[in-house]
Amino acid sequence: MHELGIMESAMSTVLAQAREHGARQVHRIVLRIGALAGVEPQALRFAFEIVSRGTPADGAELAVENVPARVHCADCAADFDVAGGFVFTCPRCRALCADLRQGRELELARIEMT
């Protein structure tokens, strides 16, 4: 389960931020996850419960912002959403594109603490 490693590194950032701000309790953590990031939200939540236990983030809400996968066509400059894969066909000009502009995000968007 690589979600555990992802969550461990996210949590070290969260806890470093909490220390820096002298926060005692982390209330909410928002992650931005791309449709093609290869992360299972359920596994992420489970990993979060494990790594947050006994820390100031224990009991915090883990929110996930989903980022759709979008591809840019170099031929006609169209941007279009895709469900998955590595090579995509432009719906406008039928050119093959592989220029994924978003969808692989895996980042900490926001931390709410007091």
**Stretch 14-73 residues interacting with Zn ion (CB under 5 A):** 73
In the list 4, 30, 64, 78, the residue contacting Zn ion (rule: CB under 5 A) is: 78
Q: In the complex, what is the shortest distance from the CB of residue 93 to Zn ion, in angstroms, rounded to a whole number?
A: 3
Bridge-based pairing state of the strands 99-102 and 69-72: antiparallel
Distance separating alpha carbons of residues 9 and 6, to the nearest angstrom: 5
* Nearest distance in Å: CB 29, Zn ion: 38
Tokens found for residue 69: 């996968």
Q: Which is nearer to Zn ion, 48 or 88 (by Cβ)? A: 88
Report d(CA 46, CA 52) in Å as an integer.
10
Q: How far is CA 58 from the centre of its chain?
A: 20
Nearer Cβ to Zn ion, position 30 or 78?
78
Binding of Zn ion at residue 89 (CB under 5 A)? no
Do residues 7 and 40 touch, judged by C-beta distance below 8 A? no
Among 60, 90, 111, 113, binds Zn ion (CB under 5 A): 90
Question: Where do contacts with Zn ion occur on this chain (CB under 5 A)?
Answer: 73, 75-76, 78, 90, 92-93, 95
